[in-house]
Structure 1
């Protein structure tokens, strides 16, 4: 299943969208990339992954049509266009899967003292921290104590983890190694786009600035929307590009701290609530696939 994860990420992330249904700051799918995956997967394996992993809630029949030798994948409804993926006839005739990482089976003979030898691990400390912490709302302070900034904590953990991984033989790469964004863009670069998004979402004359951080309508301001476009959408896309096109790791560890709500911001209180989240790609809703 790991062998064809990259193929299904390409198929199911932006691919099943109609031509205009792209995420914020998204780009149109490059269907030509899938030509590299022709005859790398059998019909049985493809069908099993579609039915039992990625589309477990069902799928519109015109999105992916599985035939004996091919899968016809809808790429656009207006005008109607398709991509045809050819299946391998059997396991022995399949073409090798192009990949920039090592498959799990290649680590079966790892050295006892260096079990991660040769493995490329990218550490991605979540958020930004530093002077950006308040903007991204990943900051809190109790009384006059030193503020807790989630981005700073994530980076500190990454720096503690890196030498331990190296001792085990891994090549460690940092997606973010300081309290600064990866993207060269800044919030002001997105002000016009933020204005257009607000107007499209029913705010005909959006305010420019956030006058009060506790204002329940702050999300309807150009400032707030442009900041979201900067530190969430654009920054995350730039990190993904760095991982996919430059670092080429075998494994990415995304490190995050997410503070619980602390009640009255003028009189915050700490909480013992803790969470562990595991995000696994797959099991898309039919509405997500239709989008």
Structure 2
């Protein structure tokens, strides 16, 4: 869910959370929320696998389009110097491949496989052998109100993004398996992956608030609609639980157990709805997809985020996920009829690709999952039309909803993603019939 006012608030919370870590880590370990000290030595495996021009293009156009402090990354003719730690002034030096042919012969260290490396298959199984992890966004269930991914209109069924995304994933999985893919669920219930709970973060939440000018933070939220709730220990501990701890645990599952070729993050979007018990419905409805990139200068100040960005750049995940996202976006646009979402500011995003629907943005999941990630954001949940379709539930065939004969919104979502995947992999990998 990505309405802009909420994004602004979440970024403010992120900045708030980040500033606590000098209290709990040595100053040399300047890392982001619940992050760990990066292992820069793993980047040695990427020596001479990328040219100067390709590295520069990805830095300037994709990953650092908003700029960065000049001492963090220094690009020279034959090397790039990346600051590992400002306090110690230690740096990692990346040697460039001298020509594109040399770079092409050097294997790029990664566990995921680009489409062009997959074995040829027959047209009826265009996804044969592809390993796809489905990551339904958020949690839903009893956690939906805590996540602020919940609203209810009168006596209608509550709308909970985590539940909607999981329903789409469960429709999508068998379709992908029929086409030959091996499918994993990053989440297949309304329970967290992390073993942590909000109470585990209460002391850290208290320190965050004190560090940021709230000397005597309240323990609890007295009114859910009170903007001062963000200055309570409960609110801070909850966001540390359901966002940072949960997504980092999902990343560990993806990176160390599942090893997929692709992660599909499935979400629904929203506009500001105000009071969730008396929400505002809107006429707005739109679609966009996200890939990793567009790091902010202040984000790159953290050693782990800078390291994760460089590792992702060198893995060439962007070269796979951008054309894939563009292809899925076009299929979703055709099937849903939705216009592209336009961010009201370019301060946190960079529009990329050719479809008009795809943005680069530095989200925790798109950064930490060590493979191509396509983050889908169709449908405004509190759109009048989408709300009616959600209330209609899932069904086979078509029904008249708001005067239009159409599929269930969940099947339309799943079908459009399948169409995009088939279109991309049918074109990007060789066919036995060719």
Encode CA deviations 1:128-183: one digit per residue, 9 max, x unaligned. 01111111111112222222211111101100011111111111110000000110
1:8 is matched with which residue? none
Deviation of 1:280 (Å):
2.9
Report if the CA contact (8 A) 1:138-1:259 is conserved.
Answer: no
Deviation of 1:121 (Å):
0.7
1:214 is matched with which residue? 225
Query: Which is further off, 44-53 or 153-162?
Result: 44-53
Query: What stretches of structure 1 of length at least 5 have no aligned partner?
Result: 1-17
2:11 is matched with which residue? none
Task: Name the CA distance, whole Å, in 1 between partners of 2:280 and 2:210.
Answer: 38
Q: How do residues 56-75 of structure 1 correspond to structure 2 at under 5 angstroms?
A: 56-75=65-84
1:48 is matched with which residue? 57
Task: Name the CA distance, whole Å, in 1 between partners of 2:297 and 2:222.
Answer: 40
Q: How do residues 266-285 of structure 1 correspond to structure 2 at under 5 angstroms?
A: 266-285=277-296
Deviation of 1:284 (Å):
3.5
1:97 is matched with which residue? 108
The CA RMSD over aligned residues, in Å, is 2.1
State the SS of the aligned residue for 2:70: coil
1:3 is matched with which residue? none
Encode CA deviations 1:32-86: one digit per residue, 9 max, x unaligned. 1101112222233223322333333444433222334322211112121111112
Report if the CA contact (8 A) 2:118-2:129 is conserved.
Answer: no
Deviation of 1:108 (Å):
8.2
Mapped pair 1:122 → 2:156? no
Report if the CA contact (8 A) 2:62-2:294 is conserved.
Answer: yes
Equivalent in 145, 150, 153 of residue 161 of structure 2: 150
Task: Name the CA distance, whole Å, in 2 between partners of 1:55 and 1:265.
Answer: 36
Deviation of 1:194 (Å):
0.2
State the SS of the aligned residue for 1:279: strand
> Comparing both structures, which one devotes a greater share of its residues to helix?
2
Report if the CA contact (8 A) 2:225-2:275 is conserved.
Answer: no
Query: Which is further off, 147-156 or 264-273?
Result: 264-273
1:6 is matched with which residue? none
Q: How do residues 195-234 of structure 1 correspond to structure 2 at under 5 angstroms?
A: 195-234=206-245
1:4 is matched with which residue? none
Equivalent in 48, 61, 65 of residue 39 of structure 1: 48
Report if the CA contact (8 A) 2:152-2:277 is conserved.
Answer: no
Task: Name the CA distance, whole Å, in 1 between partners of 2:70 and 2:164.
Answer: 47
1:83 is matched with which residue? 92
Report if the CA contact (8 A) 1:150-1:256 is conserved.
Answer: yes
Task: Name the CA distance, whole Å, in 2 between partners of 1:267 and 1:35.
Answer: 55
State the SS of the aligned residue for 1:134: helix
2:201 is matched with which residue? 190
Report if the CA contact (8 A) 1:138-1:258 is conserved.
Answer: no
Task: Name the CA distance, whole Å, in 1 between partners of 2:35 and 2:282.
Answer: 37
Task: Name the CA distance, whole Å, in 2 between partners of 1:229 and 1:287.
Answer: 20
Report if the CA contact (8 A) 1:128-1:181 is conserved.
Answer: yes
Task: Name the CA distance, whole Å, in 1 between partners of 2:144 and 2:121.
Answer: 40
Question: What TM-score comes out, normalization by structure 2 length?
Answer: 0.59
State the SS of the aligned residue for 1:277: strand
Deviation of 1:264 (Å):
4.4
Question: What TM-score comes out, normalization by structure 1 length?
Answer: 0.86
Q: Number of residue pairs matched?
A: 274
In structure 2, relative to structure 1, the CA distance for the partners of 1:73 and 1:251 (3 Å cut) is same
Encode CA deviations 1:248-278: one digit per residue, 9 max, x unaligned. 1111111112343334445335334223222
In structure 2, relative to structure 1, the CA distance for the partners of 1:42 and 1:186 (3 Å cut) is same
Task: Name the CA distance, whole Å, in 2 between partners of 1:187 and 1:285.
Answer: 28
